[in-house]
């Protein structure tokens, strides 16, 4: 065997063990009994110790020093292995294990604190998580910016300064559009009680419409919807609300977008570094284009309207146009995952600035709730009513995902670019969507982006699919056109 062959055989086992860790995480969110939390934290720490040892094994460094492939796929494999090896080698094994242990425990504490609106109960463990991630970031940054070091885990090659510049360019047009829309008469809402069992049945219709292969996945419920897995085992979760079935429907479509990306990756890349999404921003581009540009379109909502009337009976809306307006209603609200397309990115900008301050040490956990509430009031014009609608609403900080939030907004920017290219390339998208068939769109995304996994860098991935460098204008133009028509601006 060549050095490259030996390295890839070794890497295959590392990737497989990583998938086992993902299954443990999925189980913790969906099936695990609450009394198992402490034991699960030890299990997660143990498997992270094994993974860290494999990622930093000196043999990996030796193999990397010996290989110089000319094949583009092999070069990309080496790029990803080298990046992981360099990062992991800077983090002490003790620290990697402790991060896994503490974040596993913190997740359960956050869920309980959120249910009880008790920030004080969550603050000590969050302080511990933040300290560990700061220590990790300092080690990885090697004298550079700690937040930039954390960003590389989610969007390689991007800096906080670049993201801030994108956000600064987006904010004025988003705020202006929001103000114009909220000055108009709001459309009517759905009216009725929506049986959670029927909602879960509807998720299967919706997932099927977007091509989710349930032979290689499953749909369950969780407090915070997510997608987990890659290759031939990619699972999603959703949640239900008796009064708001859109929460369930669009959480499902969003997570199907993530899952579809993983399921579409070339099987030749399975259990290799290329066999997963290249970044969280690119991943989010798939979930957001599925959810918004496709799932909230007038074409698809016409089909969904009939599906929901069959499931639930009268919806309290007079026709499919009123249903489309209700799906896309812009309203005051606290929850990021329930935010309309205009305001969603404003939620992300708030979190981005707060977590940068936390990592830099300019903001302490003890002051976080007040800082959140002050910023929310300034950005949205009204006060947070309770912690579960404010600083406790997201799971991310409890599990140490500092640097993750900005990738949501980057995903929206990427999705805007992809939507523009998709509609130029596949002009009959809406005709198919009106029949509950997203395949012309999802096939295009599969062929032009998803199947390549991590073959290219994040920026190269979007350029290859869209035909131009990512920029916010396509997203902003789409939003102004869509909501301008909806609200007769």
CA distance 489 to 478: 14
Alpha helix (H) residue ranges in 222-340? 245-264, 280-288, 298-312, 320-327
Residue 48 appears among annotated catalytic residues: no
CA distance 247 to 386: 20
CA distance 421 to 441: 11
CA distance 236 to 212: 10
Residues 6+ apart with CB under 8 A from 160: 145, 147, 148, 151, 356, 406
**Catalytic residue, candidates 136, 155, 255, 284:** 255
Q: Is 231 left (phi over 0), alpha (psi -120 to 50) or beta?
A: left
**Beta bridge partner(s), residue 234:** 229
Q: Is 364 left (phi over 0), alpha (psi -120 to 50) or beta?
A: beta
Does an H or E element contain 227, and which?
strand 227-230
Residues 6+ apart with CB under 8 A from 224: 29, 239, 337, 394, 395
Q: Quick one: which of 258, 221, 226 has its CA closest to 241?
A: 221
Angstrom distances, CA of residue 15 to CA of 87, 274, 400: 16, 10, 21
CA distance 310 to 299: 18
Residues acting as catalytic residues: 255
């Amino acid at each position: 065997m060549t050095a490259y062959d030996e390295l890839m055989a070794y890497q295959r086992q590392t990737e497989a063990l990583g998938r086992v860790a993902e299954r443990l995480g999925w189980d913790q969110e969906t099936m695990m009994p609450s009394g198992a939390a402490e034991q699960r934290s030890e299990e997660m720490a143990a498997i992270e110790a094994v993974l860290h040892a494999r990622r930093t094994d000196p043999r990996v460094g030796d193999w990397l020093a010996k290989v110089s492939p000319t094949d583009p796929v092999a070069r990309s494999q080496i790029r990803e292995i080298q990046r992981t090896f360099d990062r992991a080698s800077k983090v002490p094994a003790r620290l990697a294990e402790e991060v896994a242990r503490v974040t596993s425990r913190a997740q359960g504490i956050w869920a309980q604190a959120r249910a009880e609106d008790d920030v004080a109960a969550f603050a000590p463990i969050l302080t511990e998580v933040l300290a560990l991630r700061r220590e990790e970031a300092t080690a990885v940054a090697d004298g550079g910016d700690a937040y930039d070091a954390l960003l590389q885990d989610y969007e390689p090659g991007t800096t906080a300064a670049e993201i801030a510049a994108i956000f600064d360019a987006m904010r004025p047009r988003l705020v202006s559009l929001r103000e114009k829309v909220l000055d108009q008469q709001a459309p009517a809402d759905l009216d009725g009680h929506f049986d959670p069992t029927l909602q879960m049945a509807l998720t299967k219709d919706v997932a099927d419409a977007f091509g989710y292969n349930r032979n290689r996945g499953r749909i369950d419920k969780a407090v915070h919807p997510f997608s987990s897995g890659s290759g031939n085992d990619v699972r999603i979760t959703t949640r239900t609300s008796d009064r708001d079935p859109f929460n369930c429907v669009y959480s499902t479509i969003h997570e199907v977008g993530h899952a579809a990306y993983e399921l579409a990756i070339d099987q030749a890349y399975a259990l290799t570094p290329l066999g997963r999404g290249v970044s969280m921003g690119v991943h989010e581009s798939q979930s957001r284009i599925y959810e918004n540009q496709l799932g909230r379109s007038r074409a698809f909502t016409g089909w969904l309207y009939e599906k929901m009337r069959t499931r639930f009976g009268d919806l309290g809306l007079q026709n499919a146009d009123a249903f489309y307006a209700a799906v896309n209603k812009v309203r005051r609200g606290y929850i990021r995952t329930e935010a309309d397309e205009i305001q969603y990115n404003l939620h992300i900008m708030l979190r981005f600035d707060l977590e940068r301050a936390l990592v830099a040490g300019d903001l302490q956990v003890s002051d976080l709730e007040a800082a959140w509430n002050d910023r929310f009031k300034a950005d949205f014009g009204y006060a947070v009513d309770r912690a579960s609608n404010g600083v406790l609403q997201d799971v991310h900080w409890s599990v140490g995902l500092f640097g993750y939030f900005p990738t949501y907004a980057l995903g929206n920017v990427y999705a805007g670019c992809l939507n523009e290219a998709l509609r130029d390339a596949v002009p009959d998208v809406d005709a198919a969507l009106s029949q509950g068939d997203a395949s012309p769109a999802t096939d295009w995304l599969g062929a032009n982006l998803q199947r390549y996994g991590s073959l290219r860098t994040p920026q190269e991935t979007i350029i290859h699919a869209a035909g131009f460098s990512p920029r916010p204008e396509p997203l902003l133009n789409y939003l102004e056109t869509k909501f301008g028509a909806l609200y007769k601006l």
